[in-house]
């Protein structure tokens, strides 16, 4: 089961109260977390976790009571990093914006499963991206806004940062939501991207972060050890699926999710990966096929403007006819018939 730490709910509960929005769904999830604790593999100050799919669905439902606006962004502006315990201390005690963002990315895996959070620099532009690596968890626009807004907090904490230099892109294509976000943030916002991201000048990475009250450096060796422990504790099939989805959404489709690459990313030999999957009665080829088909179904359903040929290329097929045959065998209908539903 994919999970997220319960601390993410606290901001929503408080913000909903401040905005006079019903938060019954938030209360229900908190109650579930308190009575049916999902064990975590890490002894951090994040004692409870909830199902990620339930959390994301709750965000979307709550946002409908806020006239469909960018509630996720509004709540993220109010998020308190101390709710993340040692992870929050690692971020708040960073001396520069670049260091704070990198620690946010490095330890996000302790907060939420099956997620890609990455900081990249290309020439004069820095990009921090975020996406859930599970196509079945959709829609998820409010979750994306929530996380990007928290990142926006860090950008604003950098002394001398020019917020007007920011550009925001979202996976979702809701024109009304994007317009509302543009009005809220005052910066360019677009939709239909491969991932959710914030772009800004790379020169800002060296800006000093404003000192946070009582911020202290955590035990980084312990954090790294806990991160490694959590990854090892995850079901091997889930770890393989997560890596496949990560590579299927990569910018360069020629670097596809072959078994050797996945094994290396998971820190094991191909032989070990094959043996561990066999223990679960699965094989890499079968998992890769299922992931490709689920990703294809997701893109056909939610990204209708994207051609089948483009989707085939992204999923590692040499031509769209191969994807069409595979999808028909998997779903019982052709991609075109699926699109017409």
Same domain, 167 and 248: no
**Residue 66 DSSP SS3:** helix
Per-residue pLDDT for 41 more than 60?
Answer: no
SS3 state of residue 113: coil
Asked if residue 271 and residue 176 are part of one domain, the reply reads: no
Provide CB contacts within 8 A for 338, sequence distance 6+.
297, 300, 301, 327, 331
pLDDT of 45: 44
Let me know whether 90 and 193 are in one domain: yes
Answer whether residue 223 is part of any domain: no
**145 within a domain of the structure (yes/no):** yes
Domain co-membership, 141 together with 239: no
**What are the pLDDT digits (tens) for 223-268?**
999 898 888 889 999 999 999 999 986 655 555 789 999 999 999 9
Instruction: Look up the CATH number of the domain holding residue 249.
Output: 1.10.10.60
Bridge partners (DSSP) listed for residue 129: 118, 197
Whole-number pLDDT of residue 250? 63
Asked if residue 275 belongs to a domain, the reply is: yes
Domain shared by 118 and 189, yes or no? yes
Neighbours of 307 (CB within 10 A): 10
Distance from C-alpha of 176 to C-alpha of 62, rounded to nearest angstrom: 17
Which residues have CB under 8 Å from 215's CB, separation 6+?
89, 92, 93
For the segment 306-328, the average pLDDT, to the nearest whole number, is: 91
pLDDT in tens, 158-217: 999 999 999 999 999 999 999 999 999 999 999 999 999 999 999 999 999 998 888 899
Tokens of 216: 């202290």
Query: Based on the domain organization, do 83 and 187 belong to the same domain?
Result: yes
The mean pLDDT of 133-145, rounded to a whole number, is 96
Structural domains in the chain (count) = 2
Residue 255: domain span:
235-339
Domain assignment present for residue 12? The answer is no
- Whether 249 and 130 share a structural domain: no
Q: Are residues 183 and 248 part of one domain?
A: no
User: Is residue 183 domain-shared with residue 260, that is, in the same domain?
Assistant: no
State percent of the chain over pLDDT 70. 94
- Residue 298 pLDDT: 93
List, in order, residues 6 or more apart from 306 with CB less than 8 Å away: 299
pLDDT (0 to 100) of residue 140: 97
304 contacts: CB under 8 Å, gap ≥ 6 = 339
Examine the domain organization and report whether 162 and 105 are in the same domain: yes
The reply to whether 130 falls in a domain is: yes
Asked if 152 and 75 sit in the same domain, the reply is: yes
Q: Mean pLDDT for the chain?
A: 90
Burial 170-204 (b: 16+ CB within 10 A, else e): bbbbeeebbebbeebbebebebebebbbbbbebeb
């Amino acid at each position: 089961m994919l999970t997220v730490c319960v601390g993410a709910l606290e901001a929503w509960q408080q913000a909903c109260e401040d905005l006079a929005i019903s938060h019954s769904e938030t209360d229900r999830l908190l109650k579930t977390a308190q009575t049916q604790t999902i064990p975590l593999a890490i002894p951090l100050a994040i004692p409870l976790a909830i199902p990620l799919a339930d959390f994301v669905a709750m965000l979307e439902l709550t946002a409908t009571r806020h006239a469909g606006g960018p509630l996720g962004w509004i709540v993220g502006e109010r998020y308190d990093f101390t709710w993340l315990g040692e992870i929050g201390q690692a971020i708040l005690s960073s001396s520069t914006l670049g260091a704070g963002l990198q620690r946010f990315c490095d330890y996000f895996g302790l907060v939420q499963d099956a997620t890609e959070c990455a900081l990249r620099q290309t020439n004069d532009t820095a990009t921090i991206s975020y996406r859930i690596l599970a196509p079945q968890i959709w829609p998820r626009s409010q979750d994306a806004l929530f996380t990007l807004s928290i990142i926006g907090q860090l950008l604003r904490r950098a002394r001398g940062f020019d917020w007007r230099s920011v550009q925001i892109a979202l996976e979702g294509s809701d024109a009304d939501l994007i317009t509302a976000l543009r009005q809220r943030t005052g910066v360019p916002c677009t939709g239909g991207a491969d991932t959710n991201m914030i772009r800004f000048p790379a020169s800002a990475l060296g800006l000093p972060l404003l000192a946070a009250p009582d911020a202290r450096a955590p035990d980084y060796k312990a954090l790294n050890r806990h991160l490694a422990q959590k990854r090892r504790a995850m079901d091997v099939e889930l770890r393989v699926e997560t890596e496949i989805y990560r590579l299927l959404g990569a910018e360069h489709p020629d670097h596809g999710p072959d078994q050797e690459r996945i094994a290396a990313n998971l820190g094991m030999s191909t032989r070990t990966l094959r043996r561990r999957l066999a223990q679960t009665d699965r094989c890499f080829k079968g998992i890769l096929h299922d992931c490709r088909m689920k990703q294809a179904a997701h893109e056909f359903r939610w990204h209708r403007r994207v051609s089948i040929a483009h989707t085939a290329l992204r999923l590692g097929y040499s031509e769209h006819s191969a994807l069409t045959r595979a999808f028909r065998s998997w779903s019982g209908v052709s991609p075109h018939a699926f699109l017409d539903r």
